[in-house]
Structure 1
Amino acid sequence: MMTVPIIIDFEASGFGQGSYPIEVGFSGRHGEGWCSLIRPEDEWRHWDTQAANIHGIPREVLVERGNTPQFVAEQLNFFLGGRTVYTDGWGQDYVWMALLFDAAQITPKFKLNDLFEIIDDEQMPNWHVTKEQIAKELCVARHRASSDARVLQLTWLRTFDEAKKLAV
């Protein structure tokens, strides 16, 4: 029986060294979403204007409205504890998750895996086209964590279903 994967996504202050998580969101097994802005720690200074233009979150908003790393890490453990969660940017998202949980001084109670571990070869030919189509269907205009997670989850589901139909 197929289990719908839980997809998580992190947005960050930049694309390279010194960047830190600014938003995290996930899409659960039943499509339920959760998202939180993350208030930067004092030592988290890196800010890339190109990244900010992509996600559309000014640093001032993070400082004013973001939740503390401790609160965000506790919420993630509450919702995701004991589960395996997937991301399409494992290398980056693992680092940002580690920074978040390190700042919170909490251990993650869920496992983060690479989404591409559960994408069959039959799903890949239509992956990018399907992903773009779903983003248009959902009217996703901005690059944000929870909407990105939902688009990835629906892309996995649709390409999985299409691959199974072709196999019959």
Structure 2
Amino acid sequence: MLPSVTLPTLLDIEASGFGRGSYPIEVGLARPDGSSCAFLIQPLEEWTHWDPKAELLHGISRGRLAREGYPVRQVARWLNDELDEIGIAYSDSWGYDNTWLSLLFHHAGMLPAFRLEALRMLLSEGQLEIWHETREALIEELGIYRHRAGEDARLLQLTYQRTRELAGKG
């Protein structure tokens, strides 16, 4: 029997849109033990950009953020508490997620206690070749609701795990 491999910590961010002025509205993590969690983020007053197409994808309204979101500083503190010891998290959309993460920490007046890296760095050629079909199969098989940060982070982690097994790495 092969030794069990520790799963990487995956981070995903949902945002108000993709254009200039967009900001993070939800951050989610999938931890090495396979558990996941997510927090909605209360937009700051100056965060006014809102793309209705993005809302159609993630299903999170501005009103819900105002009611259920956590203050920026609290979310940044939570991320540091979660990731300080691990020191690293991975994202499949590093360019976007790193920009939104930087914005979050800047407005929280804090520095991240971890670094965000591209998930692609962990993937073998074999994993890359079967990534998309494996992810789609998992969505179907597990009935995963896409475009929510915690669910998407866990989906990435499960896809990593399955592609690793299928590509013969264990």
Q: Normalization by structure 2: what TM-score? A: 0.94
**Post-superposition shift, 1:90?**
0.3
Tell me which of 33, 36, 39 is aligned to 2:39.
Answer: 36
Q: Paired residue for 2:54?
A: 51
Q: State the number of aligned residues.
A: 166
Q: Identity over aligned residues, as a percent?
A: 45
Give the Cα–Cα distance (whole angstroms) in 2 for the partners of residues 142 and 33 of structure 1: 14
Q: Indicate the residue corresponding to 1:162 in structure 2.
A: 166
Which of 145, 149, 158 is the equivalent residue of 1:145?
149
Name which of structure 1's ranges 61-70 and 130-139 shifts more when overlaid on structure 2: 130-139
In the TM superposition, residue 16 of structure 1 has moved relative to its aligned partner by 1.4
d(CA) in 2 for partners of 1:7, 1:121: 20
Question: 1:119 matched to which residue of 2?
Answer: 123
Unmatched tracts of structure 2, length 5 or more: none
Q: Structure 1: any 5+ residue segments left out of the alignment?
A: none
TM-score in terms of structure 1 length: 0.95
Q: What is the CA distance between 1:3 and its match in structure 2?
A: 3.0
1:100 matched residue in structure 2: 104
CA distance in 2, matches of 1:152, 1:14: 21
Q: 1:87 aligns with which of 87, 91, 105?
A: 91
- What residue number does 1:25 align with? 28
Conserved? CA contact 1:56–1:142, under 8 Å: no
CA displacement 1:80-135 (0-9 Å, x = unmatched) = 11421000000000000001111111110011000001110011121101001111
Paired residue type of 1:156: Y
d(CA) in 1 for partners of 2:72, 2:138: 31
State the shift of 1:163 in Å: 1.1
Letter in 1 for 2:163: T
Distance 1:110 1:141 in 2: 28
Cα deviation digits, residues 12-44 of structure 1 (max 9, x gap): 000111100000001000111120000000100
The question of whether the paired residues in 2 share the 8 Å contact of 1:39 and 1:63 is answered with yes
- Dislocated runs of 4+, deviation >2 Å: none
